[in-house]
Structure 1
Amino acid sequence: MELGFLKPLFDRPGPWASVYIDTSWASEDAAQQWHLRRRAVAGQLIDAGADAYTCEALMRRLAEEPVSGTPPGRALFAAGAEVVLDLPLAAAPYIGEASWSTLPHTAPLAGLRDDQPPCLVAFIDHVGADLELWDALRQEPAGRAEGTPWRGHRTVPEDRHEWHYRNRVENTWKQNAEIIADEINRTWPECGAGLLVLAGDARERKVVRERLPQQIRAVTVETEHGSRSSAGRADGHLDEAVAGIREEHARKRLRDALDHFRAGRGRGGEHRPGSVEAGPGEAAEGVPAVLDALRSHQVATLLLAQIAPDAGRDVWIGPGADQVGVQRGDVQAMGVPKPERARADDALMRSAAAGDAEVMLVPDGMAGPSGGLGAVLRWTT
C-alpha cells in the first residue's frame, strides 16, 4: 500500500482522534445499529480525553453517512475540531475502534485498505478500446481510443482482389492497435494503476500487447472474459477474473518482498525461481533497526505483521517525521526539547509516508519479521 495519501495527517500537530467504524447496512435494524456505533465511538473518544469540538466534528461527519452504496467501513482522522481525512475501507473493522493519541493511529489501515493495486482494464475490439480504472470500491472511465473502422465484409469472394483486400484489413487493424497502445501508454502514468488487463478477442489482445512499452507489458494480463460490446461488459465472470488477477499480483509482490527481506537479514535459502534476491544488510528487523533506516530514508517497503508484539510498544517522537527514537534522549539529541510518546507502528507509518515508502501487511501464519516489524531497504551504508 502506497502511503502518500496519509501525508496531510502529518502536516499539523495533534493530538488526533482516529476512528475505525463498520458502515455496513445489511441487517434489518441497520439504522439502529448505526446509531449505536456512533454513540460507542463518541463514548470511547470522551473517555480517552478527546476535546468536545473534535468529537462534535466527527459525529457530524458520521451522521452524513448514506444508507446505501457505502463501503464496508470508514476510517476518520480528526484534530483541532476538523476531520482531516475520511477514508473508505475495503474491509469492515472487526470491532469499532476510536482512539485519542499524539499521532493518528494509522497502522490498522495496512489490513483494512485495499492493498492491491488499481487495475486499468482495456475493453478492445478491432476499431478501438474503452479504458476503465478498477479497484475494490469503484469502476470509472479512464480513457478511450478510436481507430479507423473496417470497410466491407470480413469474407470476400476468392478472386484476384482478395489478397489486396485482406492486406488492407490487416494494415487497418495494425494501425488501430497502435492507436490503442498509444492511448494506454498516455493514460498509464496518470491513472496510478499497477496492472493492465486486456479484455477482448484473443487476436486483438495479442496485437495490442505487442505494441505496448516493455514496462507496461511486464504488468499486463489478458483475460478471456469481457469485451467492448454491451454483452461483453455484462460478462459476470469479468469481475471475478479481475479480482483474481489483482489478488495474485498482490500475493506475488508480498512473496517477493519477504524473500528479499529474508535474504537481506542474512537468512537466505528460501528464494523461489524468479524472485528478487538481496544481499545481507539490505533489510532491517525490529524497532531500533527499522527506525534507523527510516530516519535515513533507506526503507523501500515497511513490513507490518498482522500479529506484531512490538507494534504497540512506546517510542519517542518530535514534530518532524524523522524525529523518532527508542529512547527519550535519542530524540532530545535531535533538538527536540520535549519529546512525546507514541505507538511504534504509528511512528513507523509516519516516517514511511514521509520517505515515500510503501507498507505491506504480513498475514498471520506467514513467516515475517521478528516482533512483527521489519523493512526492505533501498540501499545500505
Structure 2
Amino acid sequence: MDLGFLQTLYEGDAPVVSVHLDTTRTTHDADKQIELRRRAARRSLGEQGADEETLRVLDDVIGGVAEVPGPQGEALFASAGKLLGAFTLAEPPAADSARLLPVPDPLGLAIDRDHQLPHVVVAVDREGADVEAYPAAAHEPSFQRTFNGSTLHISRVKAGAEAKASFHRRSVNLWTENTGQAAADVRQAAADVDAAVILVAGDPKAVGLLREHLTAQPPAGELVYIEGGRTDASAREGLRESVDAAVREAMTARHRSVLNILEAELAGGRGLQGIPAVKEALAEGKVETLLLAADRSADPELYGSRRDPRVVGTDPAALGDDPTVFSAPAAPLLLRSAVAGGAAFTEILPPARATDGVAALLRY
C-alpha cells in the first residue's frame, strides 16, 4: 500500500496529537458513547501536555461521520492548533488511543487503509445492471451507473412455434445487448479506480452472459462471483454482506502473497527483519515495502532527527551532534522514515511473525 496519503501529517516540527476512536453508530446510545470517548481522549491528551488550542481544533471535528452505516472509526491528527488530517476508518480501532508525540502515530490508520482494496460491485439481471466502483477505503462510490435496457419481450413467453422461436431469439438478443452494455460499464469502472477485484452477482443467466463479455475483453482486476442481486432489499442486503466477505478474503490473500515473498526474500538476502537491520535500510532508501505487526506493546524508544526524517537510531549519539534529536516509540519513527523514503506498507497479519514485529522488502 502506498503511504503517500500520510505525507501531510509530517508538516511542521511541533508535537503531534494522534487520535484513533471507535465512532460506530449502531446502537441507540451511540452518540453518548462517542461523546464519552471524546472526553476521555481529550482528558488524556491534556494530561500528556497537549495545548488547549490544538484540543479545540479536535473538538470541532471529532465524532465520526453520521451518514456512514455500520461499524466505523476515525483517525485524527493535529499540531500547533492546526488539523493535519481527519480520516474515516472502515473498521473501529482495536482500542481507542490518544497520544501526544514528537511525530504522528498513524499505524492504526495505515493498517485500516491496508485492509481496503479498490473494487467494483456489479449486480446484473436480464434488464440491466448496477455498477459501482470504490477506491480503496472509500465509503461512497466514485463511479456509479444503473443501466436498464429495453424490457420488451425480455421474458420467454408461451406462443405458437414460429412466434415462440421469434420471441426467444429476441429475448436472448436483449439479454446479450444488456449485458454487453453492463460489461462496458464494468470495464470503465474498473479502470477508473484501478480495481483489484470485481465482484459480480445477480441473475444466473445474465451473470453467465456478462462473464462471456468480460472474458472476451477482460477489465482490470480479478473477477469474483458472489451471492446477491438487485431485485429487492433482501437481495441488495445479501449483496452487501457478500461484498464485505469477498473483499476481506481478497485482502487476506494479498497479504499472504506478500508474506510468502518476504519469506523467500529473507532466504535470498533481499528481505530483512528486526528493528536494527530495517532502520538502517530505511535510512539508506533501500526499502521498497515496510512490514509491521499491529501489536506494538513491546516497542522500544528510538531516536529521530528533524533534519533527516529517514534516520532512526537506537542511541542519540549515533545521530551525531544534532540539536533536533528526539525520542519516540519505534513504530511511528519507522513509518515516518518509510513515508520520507517513498516505501510502501503491509501489515504482518497473524499468525505470521517477524523479529521485533518489523520486516522489509528491499529495492536492491
What interval of TM-score do these two structures reach, taking the shorter chain for normalisation? 0.7 to 0.9
Q: 1:222 aligned to 217, 222, 225, which one?
A: 225
2:4 is equivalent to residue 4 of structure 1: yes
Show CA shifts across 1:230-278 (max 9, x none): 35644x4323222221121122112111111111111xxxxxxxxxxxx
- In 1: Cα distance, 2:253 partner to 2:178 partner: 33
Per the alignment, residue 243 of structure 1 pairs with: 244
Q: Is the 8 A contact 1:294 1:322 kept in 2?
A: yes
Per the alignment, residue 205 of structure 1 pairs with: 207
Change (3 A) 1:297 1:207: farther
Q: Under a length normalisation based on structure 2, what TM-score does the superposition of the two structures give?
A: 0.82
Please list, as runs of the form range in 1=range in 2, the aligned pairs for 1:331-350 lying within 5 A after superposition.
331=319, 338-350=324-336
Q: Is the 8 A contact 1:16 1:77 kept in 2?
A: yes
Q: How far did residue 158 of structure 1 move? A: 5.8
Show CA shifts across 1:212-242 (max 9, x none): 35463x511112x3223235644x4323222
- In 2: Cα distance, 1:2 partner to 1:370 partner: 23
- In 1: Cα distance, 2:207 partner to 2:288 partner: 34
Q: Is the 8 A contact 1:301 1:376 kept in 2?
A: yes
Change (3 A) 1:199 1:35: closer
Please list, as runs of the form range in 1=range in 2, the aligned pairs for 1:10-25 lying within 5 A after superposition.
10-24=10-24
Q: How far did residue 184 of structure 1 move? A: 1.6
Structure 2 residue identity aligned to 1:294: L
Change (3 A) 1:66 1:150: closer
- In 2: Cα distance, 1:228 partner to 1:173 partner: 16
Change (3 A) 1:47 1:173: same
Residue correspondences, number: 360
6-15 vs 248-257, which moves further: 6-15
Per the alignment, residue 57 of structure 1 pairs with: 57
Q: How far did residue 101 of structure 1 move? A: 1.2
2:96 is equivalent to residue 96 of structure 1: yes
Per the alignment, residue 313 of structure 1 pairs with: 301
Per the alignment, residue 371 of structure 1 pairs with: 356
Structure 1 gap ranges (5+): 267-279
Change (3 A) 1:207 1:301: farther
2:337 is equivalent to residue 351 of structure 1: yes
Instruction: Name the Cα RMSD after superposition.
Output: 3.6
Change (3 A) 1:171 1:74: same
Per the alignment, residue 86 of structure 1 pairs with: 86
SS, match of residue 62 in structure 2 = helix
Q: How far did residue 92 of structure 1 move? A: 3.2
Per the alignment, residue 185 of structure 1 pairs with: 187
Change (3 A) 1:312 1:111: farther
SS, match of residue 117 in structure 1 = coil
Per the alignment, residue 322 of structure 1 pairs with: 310
Q: Is the 8 A contact 2:26 2:70 kept in 1?
A: no
Change (3 A) 1:209 1:4: farther
Change (3 A) 1:110 1:326: same
Q: 1:290 aligned to 267, 278, 303, which one?
A: 278
Q: How far did residue 210 of structure 1 move? A: 3.5
Show CA shifts across 1:20-53 (max 9, x none): 2233466776666544433332232222222221
Q: Is the 8 A contact 1:317 1:331 kept in 2?
A: yes
- In 1: Cα distance, 2:15 partner to 2:232 partner: 52
SS, match of residue 265 in structure 1 = helix
- In 2: Cα distance, 1:148 partner to 1:26 partner: 37
- In 2: Cα distance, 1:341 partner to 1:298 partner: 23
SS, match of residue 229 in structure 1 = coil
Q: How far did residue 95 of structure 1 move? A: 4.2
Per the alignment, residue 261 of structure 1 pairs with: 262
Q: How far did residue 164 of structure 1 move? A: 6.3
Structure 1 residue identity aligned to 2:73: G
Per the alignment, residue 142 of structure 1 pairs with: 143
Q: Is the 8 A contact 1:71 1:137 kept in 2?
A: no
Q: Is the 8 A contact 1:258 1:368 kept in 2?
A: no
Change (3 A) 1:186 1:12: farther
Q: Is the 8 A contact 1:21 1:97 kept in 2?
A: yes
Q: Is the 8 A contact 2:125 2:206 kept in 1?
A: yes
2:347 is equivalent to residue 361 of structure 1: yes
Change (3 A) 1:302 1:206: farther
Change (3 A) 1:252 1:33: closer
Identity of aligned residues (%): 29
Q: How far did residue 201 of structure 1 move? A: 1.8
SS, match of residue 92 in structure 1 = coil
Q: How far did residue 122 of structure 1 move? A: 0.8
